[in-house]
Amino acid sequence: MRYLTRSFVLGALGRRKGVEQFVGPITLAGVRGIRWVSVWPWQDGYNVSVHDVQDLDDEHYRDVSVFPPLDPEDEGDTGFGRVIGHVQDPAEALELAKRATGASPHRWVNHGVAGDDYADLVLARRAQHQP
Would you place residue 120 in the very low, low, confident or very high pLDDT band (cuts 50, 70, 90)?
very high
Supply the pLDDT for residue 129.
76
Query: Is 117 in contact with 63 (CB distance < 8 Å)?
Result: no
Domain ranges, residue 39: 6-128
Q: Is residue 114 part of a domain?
A: yes
Q: Does residue 1 sit within a domain?
A: no
CA distance 73 to 51: 13
- Other Cβ atoms within 10 Å of 32 Cβ, number: 13
Q: What pTM does this model have?
A: 0.89
Q: How many folded domains does the chain comprise?
A: 1
pLDDT at 76: 58
The per-residue pLDDT for 89 is 98
Contacts of 39 (CB under 8 A, 6+ apart): 13, 18, 19, 20, 46, 47, 48, 49, 90, 93, 94, 97
Residue type, 98: K
Report pLDDT for 23. Answer: 98
Nearest to 20 by CA among 61, 62, 74, 70: 62
What confidence tier does 75 reach under pLDDT thresholds 50, 70, 90? low
* Partners of 46 in the β-ladder: 41, 87
What pLDDT, on the 0 to 100 scale, is given for residue 82?
92
- Domain for residue 63, yes or no? yes
